[in-house]
Amino acid sequence: MASSLYSNAQHVDFDSVLAMDDPGMVSMFEALEASGLRGFLGCPAVVYEDALVDFFENASVRNGVVFSTVDGQIVQITEKLFAESFELPVEGLGDLSEMPKDAIFDARSIVSMSGEQINLSGRKNQMKMPYRLLCDIMAKAISVKAGSFNAITVEKFSLMTAVVCGVKMNWAQFLFGVLKKMVSVKTKQAKGFAIQISLLLATFPAVELGEASEFPASKILSKKTVLRFVSINDRDGAEEITGAAKKKDVSKKRTAADIEAAVPKKKRTTKKKSISSISSLEMVAVAEEAVPIQQVAEKLVVEEPRCSSADAVDMIIQQVLEETRATDAPADTTEPAVSVEKNWFDLPYEDIVKQWEAENPVVTASDTGMKL
């Protein structure tokens, strides 16, 4: 579908926008006109969709010239034809890498909404409203890049610098270079320039272009569409500020679950309290003295092995037996014998009976001569 060739396109109705009551917007469009881009951005908005499809399907670049076939007819577009058709400047910078650094430095402050230099890797909401719109024009109608139109790139800002600071650009060379990238197979350049290519094809009388289509009014910058752009960007900017403030508040308020998740749980451990702070300090001092492994090994070797309970009992019995043998051993013969007097209760029972009978003899009748 040819409509995909201008889905992100941007065109300008200079007569309408220059009559606006917004001085900032009018000043920006005047600078755009003074740069030499009015003939390219403000040409009659007519599109030949069938011819556009044929052009891009068959286009190629040979020796710096764009060739294609439309309705069976060969067309060739040179840089000179391109420049003359849209009254483009042919003098000045042809490459954005040649853009003066001091001009970029000044432009970063001129377009800034806060007065401070903008961040070139940030978003376009850093800029004043007219320059946000200029950033869109550069992205959609000049460089024709796909992607986010809210992000600032070095290429887009360099194009803006040429307009804002009045740097002369060879727009014919630059824009024709973009066209050559569009028809090259090995590039990722987005397709565009639908209105401009349609007007170029109309310069070839032998080419049957088919029925013309009117370019969508919503893609043409007029007083009405510019005011709509301002309204949408004001709303989006307010939503971004509100969203950032809410995000900041949420980040400050931490729930109990977040705190519990953030604080690691500790296992309960029993700690022995030291008697005094001095003793605790002494314990730390001792703990800090590292004992070499070799010394520990030597101590373990010298230490006597411990006996089991059964061995300890055997040792005690052995010791008692040895003491008993020492007590029952005969006395030395050189020493005089010591007689020990034994008491009757120390004697055996048989000896006690014999001693009692001896001391108390039994007297019978025959012994006394008495008759019974």
65-93 pLDDT per residue, tens: 999 999 899 999 999 999 999 999 999 99
pLDDT in tens, 160-185: 999 999 999 999 999 999 999 988 86
Residue labelled with tokens 């309290």 = 273
Q: 42: pLDDT confidence band, cut at 50, 70 and 90?
A: very high
Question: Per mean pLDDT, which range of 19-23, 231-235, 258-262 is the poorest?
Answer: 258-262
Q: How far apart are CA 31 and CA 162, in angstroms?
A: 10
pLDDT, tens only, 184-223: 866 667 788 999 999 999 999 989 988 888 888 999 999 9
Q: Which residue has the tokens 């272009």?
A: 209
Give which of 195, 156, 199 is closest to 13, Cα–Cα: 195
The token duo for 137 is: 């024009």
Specify the higher pLDDT residue, 272 or 155: 155
- Contacts of residue 179, defined as CB under 8 A and 6 or more positions apart, other chains included, come to 66, 77, 82, 193, 197
pLDDT tier, 121 (very low <50, low <70, confident <90, very high otherwise): confident
Does the pLDDT of residue 335 top 50, yes or no?
A: no
Residue 133: CA atoms inside 13 Å, Cβ hemisphere, count? 27
Residue with token string 């008993």: 324
Pick the closest to residue 135 from 114, 168, 157, 116 (CA basis).
Answer: 157
Angstrom distance (rounded) from CA 356 to CA 151: 137
- Ordered by start, the domain boundaries in the chain are 11-237
pTM over 0.85, yes/no: no
3-state secondary structure the chain: CHHHHHCCCCEECHHHHCCCCCHHHHHHHHHHHHHHHHHHHCCCCEECHHHHHHHHHHCEEECCEEEEEECCEEEEECHHHHHHHHCCCCCCECCHHHCCHHHHHHHHHHCECCCCCCCCCCEHHHECHHHHHHHHHHHHHHCCCCCCCCECCHHHHHHHHHHHCCCCECHHHHHHHHHHHHHCCCCCCCCCCHHHHHHHHCCCCCCCCCCCEECCHHHEECHHHHHHHHHHHHHHHHHHHHHHHHHHHHHHCCCHHHHHHHCCCCCCCCCCCCCCHHHHHHHHHHHHCCCCHHHHHHHHHHCCCCCCHHHHHHHHHHHHHHHHHHHHCCCCCCCCCCCCCCCHHHCCHHHHHHHHHHHCCCCCHHHHCCCC
Angle of the 129-137 helix axis to the 223-252 helix axis, nearest 10 = 110
Mean pLDDT score across all residues of the chain: 77
Confidence of residue 266 (pLDDT cuts 50, 70, 90): low
Check whether 368 has a pLDDT greater than 80. Answer: no
Position 322 confidence tier, pLDDT thresholds 50, 70, 90: confident
pLDDT score of 327: 60
- In our burial notation (b when 16+ CB lie closer than 10 A, e otherwise), range 2-24 reads beebbebbbbbbbebbeeeebee
Instruction: Please give the Cα distance from 139 to 160 (Å, whole number).
Output: 10
pLDDT at 309: 57
Residue of 223, 214, 195 whose CA lies nearest to 15? 223
Give the separation between CA 83 and CA 172, rounded to whole angstroms: 5
Residue type, 265: K
pLDDT exceeds cutoff 50 at 358: yes
Q: What percent of the chain has pLDDT over 90?
A: 45
| Each residue's pLDDT tens digit, 285-299 | 444 445 454 444 444
Question: What is the Cα–Cα distance from 152 to 119, expressed in whole angstroms?
Answer: 8
pLDDT over 60 (residue 254): no
pLDDT at 199: 94
Q: Are 86 and 39 in contact (CB under 8 A)?
A: yes
